[in-house]
Every structure is written in C-alpha cells, then in structure tokens.
C-alpha cells in the first residue's frame, strides 16, 4: 500500500490509476485547542485528486494520536507497555498500584488518551524505580501478595542497574541493541575491548569503572553482579527497556569505537575473546605470581590498558576494522 507505483480506483478519473503518497498538513481542534498534524495522503498520478486507499485512515489515526501525545507531553501506548514489561506487572494490577481505577490502564491500552496528571504519574514510574516502589507500598492492600512482590522485586533489580555508571549503562544498552545474543562472559570482554580501543585511539577512557584480572580474563565486577543470573546464557534483560527512548548520551567517537569492536571482536564467542585477553600484557602483568588456575582479583589499571592499546595502535591501526582483524588473528595464533 505504501509502495510507489501501486494502483487503485480513482473516483474522479473513474478508472484504476497509479497513485503516490505525500505528506499533508491538517489543522484539527481538540478540546478547544488548535493542532497541526502531518498526515499521509494518496494522490492520483493522472488528475492529482486525493484517493482513498485501504489502510491509510488507520495509519493517519495512529499518526495523529502520536503527534497529539507528543505535543501535549503525554505518554504513548509503548511507554505503558514498557512500564508493564520492566516491572513485570499486568495491566489491572498496574492500574491499582499507581492509584488509578482498575480499568484505567486497560483503557489506555485500547487507545484512550491519559490526562496530563495520570500521564505524569506513568512517566515518573517509568523513569524512577524508587517512585514505583513508593506507589507499590502506598497501594499494597489493593494488590495480591504475588503481584506486589513480583513488581517490588523487579523495581529493586532495576535500581541495581544504577550501580554502574551512566556511561557504562549506555554502552551496554548500545551493545544489546546491536548484537542479538550476548552472554555475560562475552559482554565483559567487549566492554574491556571498547575501553581499550577507545583509550588507545583517544587517550582517555569511555567509562570510569575499573576491571579486575579474574581467571576468565578482565571482569567489571559491578557488571558481573548485574547479570550473574544469566550464567552462560544470552542476556535477555527486560530492565534495559528502561533506557529505550531515553536521551542517548554516547558521543559519535564512542559509538564509532563500539561499532568497531562489535563488528570485529563481536564476531567471536566469550571463550575466544577470553583467550585474546589472556595473551595481552595488562592481564598477564596483573596475574604475575598467580599460578595457573589460581583465582585473582587484581586491579587492571585503566592507564595500563590505555598504554597497551596505544602501543597496539602503532602496530595495527586499530581505528579500522581491518587493523583490528589482523590484531585478533595474530593474538589467536599466539594462543593456539
Ligand atoms: Zn484521477
């Protein structure tokens, strides 16, 4: 339907005609206020009159709803669905937990537009697990014990996300967005390589966290705590829905390096990445004095990682995917 060159019946021409789609501004009055919305119309290629195309009205109804909500600062349906997902709560219990009537959220999910007041409550719950916990406690007697507990635990687990720096959180969210399946081990190594490559290229760090030399390579312990429940499985974490639609705070350079690492190191599994780190000087130095298989928790200083990657950059040109691939292949040759 949205494809160019499609045909439909033109009531002016009285014939099947090709049409094209274009944007059109319309003015609408809602609750005594004037709004300008951009909608999509189909125009007959022959006579230039508007044509009525199946499905177009539905699209425009959704578009107008979206633009109206944006103009009024009112939460979208997706925001409400995200709220249910991150706090693991159904629509009726969510309604009660927020202090609304039982059918209020179900109605919003059917398309009814929330008032500004209720919309603000929903937005606060979406951006602050502490606010959600407060609401859950205020309305605890209206909820079943099971629903209360499940949502409360989810809120606490979201709070734990903020134990890592905002920058680290953004990098992790970016990786999850780009890579389908990431295990905790793989994530740890990618974060390390992102920090390494970035500091090697720009002479400064992406995030402040320090990693430690564990048996399985460099590990950011705060991140380890965050995802320990996933063990060796790909991370499937509803908590990160919290970050969707929030302002993106990664710089272009940070995104460039993250993409670079994802497109090179990101092609390998956690075990292979672990092998690479085991052959790098910072990890070997931090592990000095520890025999094979002996656990260690030594700091891997950020400036040591930076120094190493500055040196690697001189040899391999790690600003390019080709350079990084050569580095990876040399390191894997060493490991075998
Ligand atoms: Zn026509």
Q: How far is the C-alpha of 49 from the C-alpha of 100, rounded, in Å?
A: 47
Structure tokens at 213: 């030399």
| Residue 265 CB neighbours (<10 A) | 23
Does the pLDDT at position 247 exceed 70? no
Distance 18 CA to ligand 1 centre (A): 8
Structure tokens at 301: 């200083």
Q: Quick one: pLDDT at residue 4?
A: 53
The string of DSSP letters for 30-49 reads ETTEEEEEEEEEEEETTT--
Distance 47 CA to ligand 1 centre (A): 4
Average pLDDT of 246-255? Answer: 83
Q: How far is the C-alpha of 212 from the C-alpha of 221, rounded, in Å?
A: 7
Distance 38 CA to ligand 1 centre (A): 23
Distance 41 CA to ligand 1 centre (A): 14
Distance 71 CA to ligand 1 centre (A): 35
How do residues 183-231 score in pLDDT, each as one tens digit? 999 999 999 999 999 999 999 999 999 999 999 999 999 899 888 877 8
How do residues 99-127 score in pLDDT, each as one tens digit? 999 999 999 999 899 999 999 999 999 88
Residue 253: band (very low, low, confident or very high) from pLDDT cuts 50, 70, 90: very high
> Is the CB of residue 208 less than 8 Å from the CB of residue 167?
yes
List Cα–Cα distances, 298 to 22, 195, 196, in angstroms: 62, 18, 17
Distance 247 CA to ligand 1 centre (A): 45
Helix (H, G, I), strand (E, B) or coil at 17: strand
Distance 220 CA to ligand 1 centre (A): 65
Distance 20 CA to ligand 1 centre (A): 11
Distance 86 CA to ligand 1 centre (A): 50
Distance 13 CA to ligand 1 centre (A): 4
Q: Which residues pair with 300 in a beta bridge?
A: 211
> Is the CB of residue 44 less than 8 Å from the CB of residue 23?
no
Distance 25 CA to ligand 1 centre (A): 21
Distance 250 CA to ligand 1 centre (A): 49
Distance 31 CA to ligand 1 centre (A): 36
Distance 19 CA to ligand 1 centre (A): 8
How does the average pLDDT of the chain come out, rounded? 91
Q: How far is the C-alpha of 79 from the C-alpha of 70, rounded, in Å?
A: 12
Q: With 0-12 CB in 10 A as exposed, 13-18 as middle and 19+ as buried, what is 31?
A: exposed
Q: Quick one: pLDDT at residue 152?
A: 97
Distance 5 CA to ligand 1 centre (A): 14
């Amino acid at each position: 339907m949205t494809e160019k060159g499609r045909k439909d019946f033109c009531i002016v021409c009285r014939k099947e005609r090709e049409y094209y789609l274009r944007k059109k501004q319309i003015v609408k009055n809602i609750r005594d206020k004037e709004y300008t919305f951009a909608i999509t119309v189909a125009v007959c290629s022959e006579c230039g009159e508007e044509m009525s195309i199946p499905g177009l009205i539905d699209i425009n109804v959704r578009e107008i709803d979206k633009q109206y909500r944006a103009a009024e600062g009112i939460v979208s349906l997706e925001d409400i669905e995200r709220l249910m997902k991150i706090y693991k709560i159904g629509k009726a219990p969510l309604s009660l937990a927020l202090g609304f009537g039982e059918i209020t959220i179900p109605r919003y999910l059917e398309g009814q537009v929330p008032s500004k007041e209720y919309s603000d409550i929903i937005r606060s719950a979406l951006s602050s697990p502490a606010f959600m916990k407060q609401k859950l406690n205020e309305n605890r007697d209206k909820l079943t014990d099971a629903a209360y507990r499940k949502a409360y635990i989810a809120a606490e687990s979201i709070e734990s996300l903020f134990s890592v720096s905002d920058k680290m959180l953004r990098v992790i969210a970016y990786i999850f967005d780009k890579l389908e399946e990431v295990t905790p081990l793989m994530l740890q190594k990618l974060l390390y390589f992102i920090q390494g490559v970035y500091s090697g290229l720009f002479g400064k760090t992406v995030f402040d966290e320090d990693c430690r030399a564990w048996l399985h390579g460099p590990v950011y312990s705060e991140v380890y705590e965050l995802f320990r429940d996933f063990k060796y499985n790909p991370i499937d974490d509803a908590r990160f829905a919290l970050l969707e639609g929030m302002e993106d705070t990664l710089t272009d350079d940070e995104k460039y390096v993250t993409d670079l690492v994802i497109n090179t190191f990101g092609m390998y599994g956690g075990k292979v990445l672990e092998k690479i780190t085991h052959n790098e000087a910072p990890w070997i130095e931090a592990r000095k004095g520890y025999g094979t298989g002996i656990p260690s928790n030594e700091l891997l200083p950020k400036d040591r990682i930076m120094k190493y990657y500055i040196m690697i950059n001189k040899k391999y040109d790690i600003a390019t995917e080709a350079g990084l691939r050569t580095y990876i292949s040399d390191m894997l040759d060493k490991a075998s």
